[in-house]
Amino acid sequence: MTTATSTSPRSALAPHDGNADTFALGLPARPALLSRRAWLALIALIIAMGVGVPLCALVLPQTSALHLSAYTMTLAGKLMCYAIAALALDLVWGYCGILSLGHGLFFALGGYAIGMYLMRQIGHDGKYGSDLPDFMVFLDWHSLPWYWSGTQHLGYALLLVVLVPAVVAWVFGFFTFRSRVKGVYLSIITQAMTFAAMLLFYRNETGFGGNNGFTDFKRIAGMPITHPGTRTVLFLLTFATLVLAFLAARAIVTSKLGRVVTAVRDGETRLMFLGYSPLGYKLFIWTVSAMLCGIAGALYVPQVGIINPSEMSPGNSIEMAIWVAVGGRGTLIGPIIGAFAVNGAKSFFTAYFAEYWLFFLGLIFVLVPLLLPNGIMGLIELAVRRMKLAAGGKRS
């Protein structure tokens, strides 16, 4: 029996039953989920957010400089939702090599799933005082469509948030990956899928509010949706989801499955020669990514207060790719940084230089691949490496 347990990347010879030598290939040990320093930093951040946000939002008076206003909470919550979506896209693009330009669809599907529940929660508080949502009364509908059944229950709506994007992604991915569509052709197909869905949701006959979508929400889980306490809970829930999504993604990419997924990116043909079928691995990572995007969309809608077909626009999906590229794809933490950086810049430009925002976005799209091919994380890693070299030179 082979007793070698070496974790070095080179081969090792181990005794076999004390008499003969046998060949064993020592594989690199699985990386830790997070380093000790990273765990301490994460725990400190969780404590700071868990204590600081309720204190600043609910206890401190509005005249205090540390008070968190409703606008600030909404903006920060929205940015964290975008960060979850960027993290989801990094799983398929950064680690599996699939550039999706259609993840805006999964984000919107999750938003519409929770939006149906929020519309049902309006009850008779709507403009027409009907059990039906106001847009259905306006269009002279007399009953809810069958696919709205059960959406008055939060649990069922949360199930839809996860299942609808997952099923759509799995069906699309199965036929696309089985046909071995890849590269720019796959990117174009994902964008076409999103654009087709957007046109479908714009139609009033589909029962999703047409151009206006869903808005004017009143309650969630029986609580007024605009109450400071409700906003604080939604904010903290979004932060917790971002942390859990990051840890789950990190667990996936550091596992054996994650190594195979990375091998799909680096050399799919060679992987097939080794006896692996890439289809299952692609489908898994693609579906998980879609589910994360759907959850991000579900957290986004109650905080922003609206969901409409414009969330499916191809431009939104392209922006997601920009967040990942700016932060550094294939790093997990990079896309989170990129989502905050790009959308923070967007908030600034749209507030003070609204007419120049699209030019700035285009400039990012052109210059980042040229000047920062590894994104912000690549720049940080380069700076850290140089600091270590400089410190080592001083010691010598």
CA 353 – CA 360 distance, rounded (Å): 10
- The residues pairing with 7 across neighbouring beta strands, listed in sequence order, are none
Give me the helix-helix angle, 375-395 and 314-327, nearest 10°. 0
Residue 30 has what pLDDT?
77
Tell me which H or E stretch contains 39: helix 36-54
**Residue 193: closest CA among 228, 156, 165:** 165
Q: Is 175 exposed, middle or buried (0-12, 13-18, 19+ CB in 10 A)?
A: exposed
124: DSSP letter: G
For a pLDDT cut of 90, what percent of the chain falls above it? 67
Tell me which H or E stretch contains 78: helix 70-90
CA 295 – CA 113 distance, rounded (Å): 10
The mean pLDDT of the chain is: 88
Q: Is 47 exposed, middle or buried (0-12, 13-18, 19+ CB in 10 A)?
A: exposed
Q: Kindly indicate the confidence band of residue 6, based on its pLDDT and cuts at 50, 70 and 90.
A: very low
Q: Distance between the two ends of the chain, CA-based, in angstroms? A: 47
Whether the predicted model's global pTM rises above the 0.75 cut: yes
Q: Is the pLDDT of residue 21 over 70?
A: no
Residue 349 has what pLDDT?
83
pLDDT single digits (tens) 60-118: 998 888 999 999 999 999 999 999 999 999 999 999 999 999 999 999 999 999 999 99
Q: What angle do CA 106, 108, 110 make, to 5 degrees?
A: 70
